[in-house]
Structure 1
């Protein structure tokens, strides 16, 4: 794949070449009985040719041998007899050692130079009448020009380049290449026959339109190139391969690589991307299709013109970085290659041809802007050349302006992001990779977001995009304004809250309608965050980091983040309400209800601690506990008072019963003591003699006294209770 090309230097030989034509230059008219009269004729001489081009590298030339058969096809009239005395052919202007022969003799020739070609006249040496023919042989050499000469022919030991023409009205063309040369053809067409090792033959048969037929023939013999390996301090390896005859070119290229690449690598800031050897090969300017150089990425090979152009050498080397692997559009890579080549040459103290500012209104300007600059193609005319020059110059104008504004240091950040396919809009985590090619859209994002450019969009609008691209930029402007406000909003309250991927991804992919929707969702989260910060300050807590982390790491839907924010805010407000309620003055009932129990403020403090520990469930539960404690304290207080009253009444009743019992018991004890005293007084003295009352003994002949009736005290006729011996009162037994 051709990654890039260097700007055109001059038109290729295909533009200068003119196919050979057979010309009847003069026609003699003989009248019977008189001298011939001469007048011009436009046709009547038919020519057919077989041209053989033999490449002779050892003699630095191509030998050409043309066999021509000329036949007079002009019919005579009754009064005029026509005959030809010469034939004309177009000839390469470089032809030397020209010789024409026929019928064993040398023919007279005349060569007249024209711009880009010569006209050869070959005189037959006799009159060629109607129906007569002459076989001629024309031979000449095409000498190879020295490197950097104006000649378009090169015949070196390792490289051959020339243009083959056909001759006459019709003909065949054959090119004989020496062994070892690999042949290729531009134009023609020509068939390639044989093997490279033995020598190839290129043929074209029955060329009937010589005016438009040509073939640029090239041959390469890689094993004959002089090779010079170069290894730089950073391990970069080159092989400079040039024509053995051109030591000046090899010396210049090697010097510019050795001194220029370290500077170029530092300016770009990316590692050397080429694995193995980068081959730099010398090519003839004519075969580069109008360009000064090519970088072939798939082959790790640079082809540079034999011209000693320092800008081209460094430009093509920079394409090791600046190719489709880094940026997907031609104008970006070519503009960077030119700009960084000039920066490198500036540090080396070398001069270069200034790159002009293009005229956007010139006829060379594209029908469409740089975004539509086509891939490089063969430059076959001045229109194509002018278009290519405009593309290179306009690309340089854009990139040079950007690099001058942001500087190489910031551009290194741009290159690093592009190399990693990182998202231009940076969030909290390391920049995510979003893949895909870096077109003008992402390039603009990079130079603004990573490079800090303020003038990039104006340059893009002026030089790069068409009307459709301008509309995209309009939509982008509105989205970027909203994005900037979101970023600014995120800076509030100390620690910044950077936009999440759910916002940054549609911004990077230029889906601005979705981006605007996501920005609105993100603003909603930040508004809730602001309320959380206010409530947290009032409550006296630190907001946990989880919400910020969830916001910054959101990939798509911000709904869960908003729900988390709403919950945090709800818990905070509940904590604040609970704290105010727990700290308010309490009536006697609440105080009595909380007496000896859990203080609600301790649950509020627990809720604060749980909130800071990012345990919203526990925090809400603690708040609920505090609320339940306060809500139930008044009832509990009243219940406690009522219960105390009930207990007091019960205690009083118990005390009353107890007092009554005690009084009764004391009376009984006292009574028994009195009875005991009386009883003791009635007992005779132990020393006194015993006696028995006669009255208690039954008299003889009388019945004993009857048993006491029911309800009467024992031994006390007619009494229901014993009588207190002291007071004479009656009382029952006491337990």
Structure 2
């Protein structure tokens, strides 16, 4: 609709047609002698699906006759021209009960025609009331004529040609219809189910010009588009099936690609995509409304626009601090999605940082739902140009890694996927760090200098570069570990004085961290997680001081446990294994290893020493036990032999005693009661 306003500039200048003067004076203009008071009323007729316009004009000639050179100059007017929608029909003009001649001609704007009303001479101090009526019928969706009137909707120009203070424009529609206009200042009044929107302040020298949109939310054609387990409602104008079909296909095709490119699954927060002219009336192609859970776009079949608005489910003011960040991101994401799905990306206006109206993008604020301003004309393409320069060279995988990190609120100096409890919206400084650190875009500071930063912000780049270089050196010195949290937090916060102070505290710790990792690599033992965490999470001076002793102790513990494990493993002959089992060497070795894994460094060292001590005794003990067993067996064998011998001697003694009575002639008889010698 922006072309309508451009056309009006020329039409307003020709709006008052002055007749040639008696002596051939030049054409007169309104401010040169004609006053205009106007009441313009536009009524939407839902049944007929037309807008009925009635324009009441009160014209007064205020140009007095002038004597000069013996003659009289007489100024009079014979006609008046009014811009009306090109689709207008039944154009009529009346004055004093009589019809006036009206001729309608075209203009260079396909949406606007010019109605020229002619009447008898209107001389000085004469006035004439003219009532101009016409019907606005509208054109089919996506016609070059942008006027639309259909079932439950209308978009048209409401024009009032009156002078300032003498102009009134009214738009009348059922109260169920929403009302949007390109200008502010309409006040509404509702009675009997009908709303009247009235404006009286002119928008330019030629009167009040506004494009208005009316929409009945209940008169729509709804359909559902499903993408895997997601579903969205499409709400189209009742007579625009093609829009529904296009949007449905576009969403199904592009949503999986969008998820891949942003490195995050669909976040939700969208229920409906609605066709409506209201965004264009505020200067936008469309918008994502998180409060209403809907995307609102016009009738255009633009996959780039659909993907741009869908991208705002991820990249919005909820996730990013600056407007240029989420608008620029949405556009480069949309462009890449169009390319990946076989479409043709939209060409964007080329703007220059040195051009008229250019500003540092960090100074661009406001919301897309607010009225568009001239700043938007620069800021949108500038945001796209800046983001394209930052991300355009990245492949899809790295693109998704950087964009996804920004969406999740990650810090550049943390491992990918790490989200701190205090993670908030990604700011411009966070984004610069992510693009340069995760994306490897070394030209990022230059891009920011060109498009984004003001003078004070540019001054921060030099100390940032120095601190980043020092950080990289320290990060290399401490091996595969991250530098301590205190340094990473200072750099993430762009607190370069603090980062310099922290580096002074932790610089000596790099060798200790590397020694722990070297010991682990040399011995094949893993670095205790608690030891690494203590280093990477250190954030205050007490933490740094403690690391000065704990890191060497950890390296020594790894070495000690490894040595103990080696000694225990060497007990592989039968005697040593026997001694090791008896001395619980395997169990105590496992215990020492577990203590080390838990980060209990001192107990692990003590346990390792115990293992080594026991391992030293194991071979001797293992060898001594069999010998002792043999001695025991021999001793037991000797005891048995002696016992047998003693038993035999006793048996022999018993037999001798039993034989003696016989030798002596003695006998013994048994009796139950007594024994007596026999006679």
TM-score by length of 2: 0.71
Q: Aligned runs of 1:200-599 on 2, under 5 Å?
A: 200-205=195-200, 211-233=206-228, 235-275=229-269, 277-284=270-277, 287-355=280-348, 358=350, 360=352, 363=355, 366-368=358-360, 370-375=361-366, 378=371, 386-388=377-379, 390-401=381-392, 404-405=393-394, 407-426=395-414, 432-491=420-479, 496-527=480-511, 545=528, 548-549=531-532, 551-563=534-546, 565-566=548-549
2:259 counterpart SS class:
helix
Look up the match of 1:727. none
1:210–1:193 CA distance, 2 compared to 1 (3 A): farther
Higher Rg of the two aligned structures = 1
**For 1:99-134, what per-residue CA distance to the aligned partner results, in whole angstroms no more than 9, with x for missing partners?**
112233222234555545655443334x55555543
Q: 1:154 aligns with which of 148, 155, 168?
A: 148
Q: Distance in 2 between matches of 1:182 and 1:543?
A: 67
Q: Aligned runs of 1:182-197 on 2, under 5 Å?
A: 182-187=178-183, 189-194=185-190
Look up the match of 2:133. 139
> Once the 2 structures are TM-superposed, how far is the Cα of residue 296 of structure 1 from its aligned partner?
1.6
State whether residues 51 and 135 of structure 2, in contact with CA within 8 Å, keep that contact through their aligned partners in structure 1. yes
> Once the 2 structures are TM-superposed, how far is the Cα of residue 266 of structure 1 from its aligned partner?
2.6
State whether residues 56 and 129 of structure 2, in contact with CA within 8 Å, keep that contact through their aligned partners in structure 1. yes
**For 1:410-442, what per-residue CA distance to the aligned partner results, in whole angstroms no more than 9, with x for missing partners?**
333334433443332226996534323201211
Q: Distance in 1 between matches of 2:521 and 2:256?
A: 56
State whether residues 293 and 303 of structure 1, in contact with CA within 8 Å, keep that contact through their aligned partners in structure 2. yes
1:339–1:535 CA distance, 2 compared to 1 (3 A): closer
Q: Distance in 1 between matches of 2:34 and 2:475?
A: 85
Q: Distance in 1 between matches of 2:436 and 2:463?
A: 16
> Once the 2 structures are TM-superposed, how far is the Cα of residue 182 of structure 1 from its aligned partner?
1.8
Q: Which 10-residue stretch deviates more, 544-553 or 239-248?
A: 544-553
Q: Distance in 1 between matches of 2:172 and 2:554?
A: 92
Q: Distance in 2 between matches of 1:333 and 1:240?
A: 25
Look up the match of 1:89. 81
1:284–1:208 CA distance, 2 compared to 1 (3 A): closer
1:549–1:179 CA distance, 2 compared to 1 (3 A): closer
**For 1:117-161, what per-residue CA distance to the aligned partner results, in whole angstroms no more than 9, with x for missing partners?**
655443334x55555543332112333122111223221223222
Q: Distance in 2 between matches of 1:450 and 1:310?
A: 30
Look up the match of 1:67. 56
Q: Distance in 2 between matches of 1:533 and 1:38?
A: 97
> Once the 2 structures are TM-superposed, how far is the Cα of residue 488 of structure 1 from its aligned partner?
1.5
1:409 counterpart SS class:
helix
Q: Distance in 1 between matches of 2:56 and 2:406?
A: 61
1:203–1:456 CA distance, 2 compared to 1 (3 A): closer
State whether residues 103 and 115 of structure 2, in contact with CA within 8 Å, keep that contact through their aligned partners in structure 1. yes
State whether residues 99 and 106 of structure 1, in contact with CA within 8 Å, keep that contact through their aligned partners in structure 2. yes
1:223–1:353 CA distance, 2 compared to 1 (3 A): same
2:467 counterpart SS class:
helix
Gapped regions of structure 2 (runs ≥ 5): 560-591, 610-679
> Once the 2 structures are TM-superposed, how far is the Cα of residue 309 of structure 1 from its aligned partner?
1.4
1:242–1:364 CA distance, 2 compared to 1 (3 A): farther
2:601 counterpart SS class:
coil
**For 1:533-555, what per-residue CA distance to the aligned partner results, in whole angstroms no more than 9, with x for missing partners?**
999999x9x99959834642544
Q: 2:41 aligns with which of 43, 52, 55?
A: 52
Q: Distance in 2 between matches of 1:345 and 1:355?
A: 14
Q: What do you get for the CA RMSD once the two structures are aligned?
A: 4.3
State whether residues 235 and 272 of structure 2, in contact with CA within 8 Å, keep that contact through their aligned partners in structure 1. yes
Q: Distance in 2 between matches of 1:416 and 1:122?
A: 62
Look up the match of 2:602. 615
State whether residues 280 and 286 of structure 2, in contact with CA within 8 Å, keep that contact through their aligned partners in structure 1. no
1:453–1:82 CA distance, 2 compared to 1 (3 A): closer
Q: Distance in 2 between matches of 1:17 and 1:249?
A: 30
1:561–1:168 CA distance, 2 compared to 1 (3 A): closer
Q: 1:172 aligns with which of 164, 168, 171?
A: 168
**For 1:645-684, what per-residue CA distance to the aligned partner results, in whole angstroms no more than 9, with x for missing partners?**
xxxxxxxxxxxxxxxxxxxxxxxxxxxxxxxxxxxxxxxx
> Once the 2 structures are TM-superposed, how far is the Cα of residue 60 of structure 1 from its aligned partner?
4.1
1:62–1:566 CA distance, 2 compared to 1 (3 A): same
1:100–1:546 CA distance, 2 compared to 1 (3 A): closer
> How many residues are matched?
559
1:288–1:76 CA distance, 2 compared to 1 (3 A): closer
**For 1:551-574, what per-residue CA distance to the aligned partner results, in whole angstroms no more than 9, with x for missing partners?**
42544224344345348869999x
